[in-house]
Chains A and B, each alone.
Chain A
Amino acid sequence: AQSVTQLDSHVSVSEGTPVLLRCNYSSSYSPSLFWYVQHPNKGLQLLLKYTSAATLVKGINGFEAEFKKSETSFHLTKPSAHMSDAAEYFCVVRAKGNTPLVFGKGTRLSVIA
C-alpha cells in the first residue's frame, strides 16, 4: 500500500526567508510524487512532479523538491518566501499502474510580513 505523511500541519515563515515543507512517502513501487498548492477558496494547482527522471525537480513560482529514495522523502523548498505563497500545500503519491493518487493531509503555509 502507498501512503504519504506531511510532517507539519502548519508552517509559518517571514517574508524573504526560506520555506521547507516536509513530506515522507511509503510505496511498494518506484512512485510518482507531486506537490499541489491550494489558495483559499480555490481549486488545486500542480506545483511540480517527480516521475523517475531527475531527482531534483523544479516547479512553478520558484519552488523545487528533491526525491531522496534512501530517506523516502520529497520535501518542498523555496529560497525566499513571498506573501503570495500563503496557501495549503499537498504532497501526493502514486505507485505504479492504475492506482489512484493518495494525498497527504496538507500543510498550511503562513507568510508574515
Chain B
Amino acid sequence: NAGVTQTPKFQVLKTGQSMTLQCAQDMNHEYMSWYRQDPGMGLRLIHYSVGAGITDQGEVPNGYNVSRSTTEDFPLRLLSAAPSQTSVYFCASQTGVLYEQYFGPGTRLTVT
C-alpha cells in the first residue's frame, strides 16, 4: 500500500512551457485534491474531485487544469507555466467527506 504518490519530486520549467504533475493513490479514495504551498500562505486549494468524472475549482484554479478519468489518478496540468506558479504542489486523497486527508510527498516546481 503506497498511499499517495506524486511524480516528479522536482521540476524546472521555462515560462510558457506546459507539463503535467502526476498523482496516484491506491486506497480507493473517492476524494482527491491539489494544493499549492507558498511561504506564509499555508496550503491553498487548486482543484478537487469528489469521484471519477467529477472535478471542481478551488481557491486558486487559474492556469491549472485537471481531469479524473479513474479513481486512482488525478493529474494536474499547467497549461502555460508562469513564474507565479513556482511553488510546492501537494496532492491529497480521502475516503469520505468527514475524514482526514492523506498527503503525497509533494512536487517542488520552479518556473524561470
Residues of A that sit less than 8 Å from B by CB: 9, 32, 34, 36, 42-46, 49, 51, 90, 94, 97-98, 100-106
Cα-based distance from A102 to B50 in the complex (angstroms):
16
Q: Chain B interface: which size bin?
A: 20 to 34
Residues of B that sit less than 8 Å from A by CB: 33, 35, 40-45, 48, 50, 58, 90, 92, 97-98, 100-106
Does A43 contact B40, Cβ atoms closer than 8 Å? no
Chain A residues with CB under 8 A of B98: 32, 51, 94
Interface SS, B side: strand
Does B90 contact A44, Cβ atoms closer than 8 Å? yes
Given A43-B90, A43-B106, A103 and B97 contact (CB-CB distance below 8 Å): no
Given A98-B50, A100-B33, A46 and B45 contact (CB-CB distance below 8 Å): no
